[in-house]
Structures are given as C-alpha cells and as structure tokens.
Amino acid sequence: MEKYIVARHFINNEESLNEFEKGIDNLIIGLGLSKRYKLNFGLKLTTNDNINEELREKIKKKLEGLPLNLWLLYDPKNRGSGVSFRQIVFNPTFYEKKYIIGSIDIDQLSVKGDSLELLIELMEKVEKENTLYAPGSRDIQVKLAVYEKNSNLRKIHELFHSLAISSEKLIVKDDKYGLNADAAYKKIGESTTGVSIFNTTHPNYPELMNYTMRMARIADLTGFAGEYYTAIRSSLLGGISTGYIRAKENKFYHKKDEQTEKEGITNMIITQTRELGRTDIRNLLEKTIKENRNMGIISEFYDKSEVEFIRDLMLKGLMSN
C-alpha cells in the first residue's frame, strides 16, 4: 500500500520561516529517497493573515521553487491547527486512492540516521495490524512550554486524554527506542504527539471522518481540540498501533514571562476542554477526569497539587457548556 508523509507548518514570523526552510530541505532529501522506500511526500503550509509583504514574498519564492512531485496544500489564511490537521488526514487525495497517511509537524521531520526508517516502520505496522490510528511516541524528554512547571501542566492535560483512551492501547510494548522517553508517557501513553498516522483503508475510516466533520459543526474544533477529538474517537472505532519516533525538542518562537505563559496554557485547557464537552466524547472525558484512580496514576509523576489544578480546569471547561 502506498504511503504519504505530509509535513505541516505555520509561518507567522522570520523564525518560523527559517524553520520552514530547514523543513523543506528535509522534504527534498526525502523525495530523493522516495523510490527506495515507496513513499510520497507532501506539505501543508499555513501563514498568518497579518504577516508583512516582505515575508509573504519570501514564502512565495520558496513555494515556487518546490519540486513538482511534492504534494502541496497552501492556505494563506490561518484557520487553526485543527483545521490544518483535518485538511491532511481527511483530504480526498488520500482516502479516494487509499493510503497510509502520516501527518507530521515540519520541525519534527527528520530524514537523518534511522529517523525516517522508524517513521516508515510505524506506518508499515499500521498496515500490517490493520489499525486505524497510530501516534508516534516521542523518544525524548518532552517540552511543551518554555518554563518547566508550565510544560508539566500541559503534559498532565495530555495524560488525561491518554487515560480516556487507555494506557493499554497507547503504551509502546517494545521499549528499545524509548530509553530516554518521558517516564510519565512511557507508563501512561501518548495520544497526540505531532506525528499522527491514519489508515484510510480501515473499514471505519469513513466513519471517523463523518464523526469528526459532524462534531466540527457543533463544536469549535479549529484548535487543539480537533486533534484531541480525532485521537480519542479513533480509539473507539479501531485499533491503535504504537511505536517510537525520533523526536526533536519543540521550538518556541514567542518568549513570554512564566506567569503570562501559564495564563495562556490555563485558558487553552479550559477552552479546548469546553469544546470537547460539546462533542459525543463528553461523558467519556468527564468520567476519566473524575476518576480518583487516574488522579493517582498521574500523581506518580507530577505534584498532586498540579494534577488537581489541571483536573479542576478541565472540569471547569466541561461544566461551562
């Protein structure tokens, strides 16, 4: 079965443009290896509506120089990360011809060493096991914010989603590539990682697409909630394959003081959970958050007061509907 790796990126300043240029170099190298690995490559690029003309012209020139055999979807309007995600994983290009489709943040794409091989291995695992979804588990200490305490808050938030799916489905059984992985993710599992693989030949893939599109009409899934929902709904419709990928540390282009960053994270957790509460996974999510046993599991790795703080934020989001 043919496989597609689609890198996605959002440009809103010079730093993110520089990251894009590095990612393009990786994609071009990948295209050179495509016949050997029977791979296709693509790019989903989004730009901020308010970037200046100089930056927009640089982007235009870069796009004009792309190889013709690179699949491209360019959206000059920022419609949100959740929309960008759906534009890849539910694109007619892929489900009409039947592919294993991998969506990967461009700053996580690497073709050096065994990075590409591990990604292909996970895609082949999805095909062999005939599963619907696979998150690429990160083999490093994950950093989700500039400041460590704030990063921990975001990780706790993600771990509640993992528990909604169940650790049994998400933990990577073969640990040889995860020796340096985050202890909490190794024990509980990762559900959304920046690397998402979907099997468009799975019998329930059309149902997943229909569920997601229907929920996007009653809830705002333009943000992270779109990816959270799709991962959790996938686990209810089909099997999940797991495996480690060679991850890179996240880049943060806008540095803020610790309190401002925390306020942004707090607001994100409340609003994204509120939107999930408007979907058909509300009851599952609420049950997961309220389960005392889950509090205990996450508290093995993080301060109990932080876990309680995130639990309360998520409940606040759910109850605001």
Q: What are the φ and ψ backbone dihedral angles of 203, each rounded to 5 degrees?
A: -60, -25
Mean pLDDT of 2-30: 91
Confidence at 98, pLDDT banded by 50, 70, 90: confident
Confidence at residue 162, expressed as pLDDT on a 0 to 100 scale: 99
Mean pLDDT of 296-318: 98
Q: Is the pLDDT of residue 246 over 90?
A: yes
Q: What is the mean pLDDT of the chain?
A: 94
Which secondary structure element, helix H or strand E, spans residue 21, and what is its range? helix 14-37
CA geometry: angle at 2 spanning 41 and 73, to 5°? 35
The β-bridge relationship of strands 133-138 and 39-47 is unpaired
Instruction: Report which of residues 23 and 306 the model is more confident about.
Output: 306
For the chain, count helices (H), then strands (E): 14, 7
Confidence at residue 111, expressed as pLDDT on a 0 to 100 scale: 77
Q: Is the pLDDT of residue 113 over 80?
A: no
Confidence at residue 79, expressed as pLDDT on a 0 to 100 scale: 93
Q: What are the φ and ψ backbone dihedral angles of 105, each rounded to 5 degrees?
A: -60, 135
Confidence at residue 96, expressed as pLDDT on a 0 to 100 scale: 79
Mean pLDDT of 14-37: 89
Confidence at residue 133, expressed as pLDDT on a 0 to 100 scale: 99
Confidence at residue 37, expressed as pLDDT on a 0 to 100 scale: 83
Q: How far from 129 is each of 118, 237, 242, 293, CA to CA, in Å?
A: 16, 15, 11, 31
Structure tokens given for 34: 């495509």
Q: Is the pLDDT of residue 138 over 90?
A: yes
- Fold for 3-319, please state it: Spore Coat Polysaccharide Biosynthesis Protein SpsA; Chain A (3.90.550)
Q: Name the β-bridge partners of 39.
A: 3
The DSSP output letter for 250 is P
Which SS3 state, helix, strand or coil, does residue 294 take? helix
Confidence at 254, pLDDT banded by 50, 70, 90: confident
Confidence at residue 187, expressed as pLDDT on a 0 to 100 scale: 97
Confidence at residue 278, expressed as pLDDT on a 0 to 100 scale: 99
Contacts of 55 (CB under 8 A, 6+ apart): 11, 13, 14, 17
Confidence at residue 302, expressed as pLDDT on a 0 to 100 scale: 98
How big is the chain, counted in residues? 321
Structure tokens given for 139: 């083999």
**3-state SS, one letter per residue, for 103-127:** EEEHHHCCCCCCHHHHHHHHHHHHH
Q: Where are the domains of the chain?
A: 3-319
Instruction: Report which of residues 254 and 108 the model is more confident about.
Output: 108
Confidence at residue 287, expressed as pLDDT on a 0 to 100 scale: 98
46-67 residue pLDDT tens: 999 889 999 999 999 999 999 9
- Report yes or no: 160 and 314 within 8 Å, Cβ to Cβ: yes
Structure tokens given for 320: 């605001």
The DSSP output letter for 8 is E
